[in-house]
Every structure is written in structure tokens, then in C-alpha cells.
Structure 1
Amino acid sequence: MSYKLASICNLRSVSEQCRTRWMNSDTPSEEGDVESILQLMKSFPGQACKNPVSIEAKTTRGISAAHTGDTYLSYDVTFGFACINKKQKSKQCEDYQVILTCPSDFCLGKFSCCRTRWFDVDNPKGKGDYETLLQLQMLYPSEVCTQPVAIEAMTLSGVPAHKTGEIFQAYDAAHGFACVNDEQPGGKLCQDYKVRFTCPLTFCTQSTVI
């Protein structure tokens, strides 16, 4: 008998917010690059929340939207992200991707019955705390889906990652979580984190539950 999953409708120990994967629904066409919340919900059904808590944008080359020099028509949780070519001084908009931080009702919505258990496979004693999706898939191939819908991270003491004030090298559903000691202000070490993923419902329906 194959046992593949994880926590079924376990609503305990909720970390309030979860983050999506990076999403790119548009390219810098003649008008520009528009990553609206509505379009993201259409392009990535079930993976983008309707009322995000925050939005972050970067180019497909990995440059933060704050450092590209582009001017944005919109960069907020109400509409989403929009860079319009004619608003730029002498160039076209870059190609952008966005990631959403979603409220608890999204994390606990229809996908709540398909969440993994919490995983903690590393500690910050070396270079930092790395809880990557690839590593977790290698260690627990039957417990972690290949394309998670969302990720949650919190310290072992129960503090949600977004409330720690630490800087994260990675924190998204496609890559997992990484906190690097050298990137923290004041020379302090990262805290010890654990993560869990929200998986597509098909991952759970294909599983045999204990």
C-alpha cells in the first residue's frame, strides 16, 4: 500500500499568510507589461488569490522592480502590476514576473485539504537555513508535490516568516525557502525555519491516506 500524503484538512498551526510562485502572464508587447490580479487568476487558476496582502515584482532576469529605473502605472494589491512603454523615457518596459502574498482564507480555501506537513531539514549553523523544494522532493518524494500552489514558512518557535524582519533569498512556491546568514543586517544568523506546501488537489486525490 502506498502512503503519499500529508495533512488532510489539518487546520492547526496556521501561519496566517502564504506566498504563491512567481507568475508571468504577459510580455512587454507594444503597450507594455501588465500583470493584473484578474489576469493572473485567469492564467494561473487556483494559484493567485483575489485579495492579496502584498505584491512583489522583478524582471525575468531577476532584477527587483525597485532597481530597473522603469516607471509603473500600477504596482499595488488592488490592480496588480503595470508597466506601460509610452510612460518610459527612452526604452521599453522590462519583462516582469510577480509573486503574491495571500491571506489566510486563500491558504485555507479549497486547497486546504491538500497541504503537506511541516518540514525542517536544515538549520542556520552553516551558511543559512535552506528548505528548498528540490531538496524536500529528493528526501520526501511521496510527500511533496512537484508544483505547489503556495508555501508557508515559520520559525520553529512559531513566528511567521514575514514577521521576523529577516531577508530571504528565496520564499516562493516554485523554489522553496532560503535564508542566508551573510544577507542579514547586523551580522546576525538566520532563525531556524520550517515550511509546508499547499499542493494541487490532484496530488491528494492520487494519494492513499492513512
Structure 2
Amino acid sequence: MKRLRLALVMLLSLTFLSGCIPMRNNRLWLETRLGRSAEKVYPTKNLYELFDKFPKGFTIIVMDSYKKDGIYMYRKIWLYGSPEKKRIEGYVSLRKEDDLVEHVNLVYSQNGKLSAENSNYSDELLPYKEFLFQKLTLNKKVLSKLKLISKSYSWVSGYGDIEYGIKDKDINKFLHLDKDEEVTMSINTEDSVVSDSGFFLPISFSENELESWHKETIIGGQEGKNDD
């Protein structure tokens, strides 16, 4: 009798797990969790608003990759919101493949302006003074209406991604594209994005078959790794 009960418990457990595993690769499930995370920061007009959402601090990492004269260029903006200083500062760097071309320190003021401490820098180093997450509205409802390209989720590793085809005037203007050009928006579904244990939201925008891409990552509650 005990063996029969044990077998029934194991059978019910396997049935429950087999039902939950594919569920996490379901569009509705992914968008419900991702939408809840995205709407927390999309949009954020003034970066100082993030102190209300992440009182323990936050990190913003914005990266660009593009080709110039056949050579890959990489731009990185790294900003940290210090909970002790109530100050947002960091840097922007530009690399030509592995070689550093330019680097200046940045400060974001409470009145919403991003500026460099040194005025001697090129337009290529800092071509924009605000980010897409300050302009775009993203939530479950918005995501559900986008054209789905692909989705995946691994219950073993907790990693996955969901990709959309999107035409948006603000995105295209930001990326200097024609207003009718479609961009691929990718959201990485890591554990801390789709769980309640942390906040780590990376969203990338790419075009021309990944010839160029723009990625914005917001990390809440800690200082993100500064490895420039």
C-alpha cells in the first residue's frame, strides 16, 4: 500500500512538472512576467525617478555596435545611481574593435541632463543625451500586440529570449532609420527578470541582420559590473 501511494505521488509530481515546463515557454506567461518588469522602468522620464523604484541603487548600461569603414565600433555608457550620494555618474567609452579611442566621465543632473565632465570629445562618442527607456512605453499589453518572431525558455538554466518585429517612430528616429523600417527588439529572459528575486532587464534593438545593434540594460538594487 505504501509503495502504491509513493508511486501515485511521483506520478502526480511528474505530471505537474511536465505541465509547468512548457508553460514557461508560452507567450502569455513570458509576456506577463516581462511586461511587469518592463513597465517598472519603461518609460522613466528622469533617471532620478529610479531611486524611488530602486532605493538600494541601480546601474544603467547602454551599448552600441556598428561598422565604420568595415571595422566594428563599440560604444558603452555606464551610469551608477548611488543610494548614499543620491548621485548618478559614470562614463562613456568608444572602442575600435579592441582599441580604446575615447573615454570621458559623465554626470546626470537632477534636472534631467546628461553631460560630460570634459567638453573635448567627439559627436561619435556621445551622439545622444537620453535613452530609449526614457521614451518608450512597454508593458504586457504593448508586448502582446507586437509581431512575435521567436521565443524560448529553458527551465533548467532559467535563460531564454523573446524577439519581436517592431516599427516605432521613436526607435527609428533614435537609431537614424527610415520611419517604416522594422527593427528586431529582443528581451533576454534571465531568472532575475522573470522572478521576484531581483531586477535585471536587458533589451536590445537591432537591424540589418545584426550589422548594428543598441542595447539598454537596467540593474536594480546593486552596482553593476564596471569592466571597461
TM-score, normalised by the number of residues in structure 1? 0.33
Point out the structure with the larger helix share: 2
Higher RCO by CA contacts (8 Å cutoff, separation 6 or greater): 1
TM-score, normalised by the number of residues in structure 2? 0.32
Instruction: Choose 1 or 2 for highest CA Rg.
Output: 2
Point out the structure with the larger strand share: 2
